[in-house]
């Protein structure tokens, strides 16, 4: 996640530019959302946690395997 730049906007337990991993995990607790969140990270956008948009994250920035691992890690927090 550090290499892909995720930590420029997100931290484990407090809001920076984007929501914390803890906030994301709480919002989606008990839901099967890994594919949905992977797609959201790829496409970018705004609206789920406020007005500031998240930039798209293409495969050149983070490959599918690393993205899946990152999303699963975030949801376990």
Round to whole Å and give the CA distance between 64 and 71: 10
What the block records as the tokens of 52 is: 């500031």
pLDDT for position 47: 79
- Sketch out the chain's domains with CATH numbers: 6-75 (1.10.760.10)
Evaluate whether 40 touches 48 at the Cβ level (below 8 Å).
yes
Evaluate whether 68 touches 76 at the Cβ level (below 8 Å).
no
pLDDT, tens digit, 9 for 90 and up, residues 14-61: 999 999 999 999 999 999 999 999 999 999 988 789 889 999 999 999
Residue with tokens 């007005």: 51
For the full predicted model, state whether its pTM sits above 0.85. Answer: yes
pLDDT for position 19: 95
Contacts of residue 13, defined as CB under 8 A and 6 or more positions apart, other chains included, come to 20, 21, 22, 77
């Amino acid at each position: 996640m550090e290499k892909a730049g995720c930590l420029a906007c997100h931290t484990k337990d407090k809001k920076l530019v984007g929501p914390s991993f803890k906030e994301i995990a709480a919002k989606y607790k008990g839901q099967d959302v890994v594919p949905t969140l992977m797609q959201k990270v790829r496409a970018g956008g705004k609206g789920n946690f406020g007005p500031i948009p998240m930039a798209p994250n293409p495969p050149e920035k983070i490959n599918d395997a690393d993205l899946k691992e990152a999303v699963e890690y975030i949801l376990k927090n």
